[in-house]
Amino acid sequence: MVFQVDVTGIKEVLAVVDRIAKDFGRIDMLVNRHGIG
């Protein structure tokens, strides 16, 4: 049971990380397009 809960937690973390990575990718595109930085 504990192992199953851990696997579910890992999947949730990976999903959140993937979402954050996509958000950062969008931010990078906006920054590059506007020439900021």
Domain positions in the chain are 1-32
The dihedral through the CA atoms of 3, 4, 7, 12 has a sign that is negative
pLDDT of residue 36: 59
The pTM score is 0.55
Using one digit for the tens of pLDDT, what is the confidence trace for 11-34? 999 999 999 999 988 888 888 887
Q: Which amino acid, residue 31?
A: V
Dist CA 23 CA 37 (whole Å): 18
Q: Are 25 and 32 in contact (CB under 8 A)?
A: no
pLDDT at position 37 over 70? no
